[in-house]
Amino acid sequence: MRAAPSRQRRSSALVIELAANGMGVTDRQRHFKDRLAALSEDHQRGILRFQRRLVEFKKSGLLLDAQCAIVEEYLLRLGERRRNPANTGNIEDLFCYTLADTRDPIRAFAQALADSVKVVPMDDDATLYPRVRSIRSSESYTKVGDFKHLDAGDKMLVTHTMVAYGDAEMRAAAAELLSISKPGIDSAGIDRELAKMAVQSQHHPSSTFVLARAQGLTIELADLYSQAGYTDQQAKDAQSFYDICAEYQPRWTKDFLAGDIPAGEEWEHWRARYIEARRGLPEELVYQLASDTLTNFLQGTLESGKWTDASVMFGGVTNARDIPPAIARIVNQYIAEHIALHDGPAVDLTLACADTLRPWGIGFENDRAVVLPEGPQKTAALRLQFEAAWARKNMR
């Protein structure tokens, strides 16, 4: 069922109407600047960087004025709702990479939306869409607070994509983008397209770090895939894939954290089933799983401090000088995952990320990330990122 239009959605719709008619641009820009100035400096930097890239897409014809207005409003609302500013660059890279590659604003927005709610702690009352259930007890989880066995950080890792699509305001933004991008689409069509966006966005299998925390948990897919217009067989195949993901053994993550791939009969058996089941997924979901890995070390993500934030929050880092080695370890983890989970060569990631990682003091040798002896050019930026992450951690 579609959410009722919120006050923010009605306001955004007016912006879209004005932009579409070439009216009120100066007032819209002034309003944008006023609201932006009220946000934290971290949010401002991320939003302005994202906005500059939107302007380039508009110039190239990949985005309409009205589509840009929706994304800009969406970014402002993330800041006003106090979402994690360290995540803005990652959703920028997801959106821009997907838009440039697929030329489809809806797929690009689906990628960005899915990773927009990464805050610790999450709201325990936040609704999950789709729902999650245990493969052992068949217990169903409908909101974040139902995960009594997870700590605050793990709740975020396991639920953030479901929370994003369960959020009424964020779904409303997606619905507005659909109505602009697909002229003439009716209410039923918007519901179907929203469900398709949610289908392609459940990407926790792209990370062994998340798979370890989601052990024993699968996603309830039958209703979602039906709403999205997929066949019963497609839903069954996808359910099998996520059920296999729930059997992932957390001890395997120790190998990935060291940049290695596990060995042994049990691992090989699980991986063979995982890869085979992955072949039956919708193409858009397969794309999301792979691109979620490949976009993790592009410029926006690094500039916003996502990995500095993660290293402080989850990696035990207590000094800014330890950030480059921590990021190098994370890169090696993702290279191993790209090989093991996406069945792709290391060069996919090393070529995509070499130029963006170098200023942060990280290079590659023999397809492994290493800390460059000359140190990072971005020393001052790293220090600022560390201080912001440290402050957020100590506010929890």
Q: Over pLDDT 90: what percentage of the chain?
A: 78
**pLDDT recorded at residue 358:** 96
SS (H, E, C) 21-48: CCCCHHHHHHHHHHHHHCCCHHHHHHHH
Question: What is the model's pLDDT at position 31?
Answer: 85
Residues 6+ apart with CB under 8 A from 170: 74, 113, 116, 117, 164
For residues 32-42, give the mean pLDDT.
91
DSSP per-residue string spanning 317-385: --SGGGHHHHHHHHHHHHHHHHHHHH---THHHHHHHHHHHGGGTEEEETTEEEE-TT--TTHHHHHHH
Flag whether pLDDT at 126 surpasses 80.
yes
pLDDT at 46: 92
Average pLDDT, the chain: 90
Judged on CB neighbours under 10 Å (0-12, 13-18, 19+), 153 is: middle
Distance from chain centroid for Cα 295? 10
Q: DSSP states of 220-278 as a string? A: --HHHHHHTT--HHHHHHHHHHHHHHTT--GGGHHHHHTT----SHHHHHHHHHHHHHH
Average pLDDT over residues 304-321: 89
Q: What is the mean pLDDT of residues 367-394?
A: 91
376 has pLDDT over 80: yes
Mean pLDDT on 286-301: 90
With 60 as the cut, is the pLDDT of residue 9 above it? no
Q: How many CB atoms lie within 10 A of CB 345?
A: 13
Characterize 199-223 residue by residue with b for buried, 16 or more Cβ atoms within 10 angstroms of its Cβ, and e for exposed: bbbbbbbbbbbbbbbbeebbbbbee
15 pLDDT more than 70 = no
Does 74 score more than 50 pLDDT? yes
Is the confidence at residue 26, as pLDDT, over 80? no
Is residue 12 within 8 A of residue 176, CB to CB? The reply is yes
What pLDDT score was predicted for residue 86? 83
Phi-psi label, residue 312: left if phi above 0, alpha if psi -120 to 50, beta otherwise: alpha
The phi and psi torsions of 362 (rounded to 5 degrees) equal -125, 130
Task: Find, among 193, 197, 213, 134, the residue nearest to 162 by Cα.
Answer: 197
Q: How far apart are CA 319 and CA 312, in angstroms?
A: 9
Range 2-9 average pLDDT: 40
Question: Using one digit for the tens of pLDDT, what is the confidence trace for 138-158?
Answer: 889 999 999 999 999 999 999
Tokens of 385: 């990122």
Q: Per the structure block, which two tokens stand in for 41?
A: 């400096």
Contacts 24+ apart (CB under 8 A), 369-377: 369/259, 369/327, 369/328, 369/329, 369/331, 369/332, 369/335, 370/328, 371/324, 371/325, 371/328, 372/324, 375/324, 376/324
Confidence of residue 65 (pLDDT cuts 50, 70, 90): very high
Give yes or no for residue 295 having a pLDDT over 60.
yes
Q: Does pLDDT of 265 surpass 70?
A: yes
Phi-psi region of 261 (alpha: psi -120 to 50; beta: other; left: phi over 0): beta
Contacts of 300 (CB under 8 A, 6+ apart): 46, 49, 50, 53, 88, 89, 90, 92, 93, 96
Q: What's residue 10's pLDDT?
A: 40
Statement: residue 328 has pLDDT above 60: yes
Q: What is the mean pLDDT of residues 169-173?
A: 96
Residue 193 has pLDDT above 60, yes or no: yes
pLDDT at 338 over 90: yes
User: What's the pLDDT band for 42 if we cut at 50, 70, 90?
Assistant: confident
Report residue 25's pLDDT band, with 50, 70 and 90 as the boundaries.
low
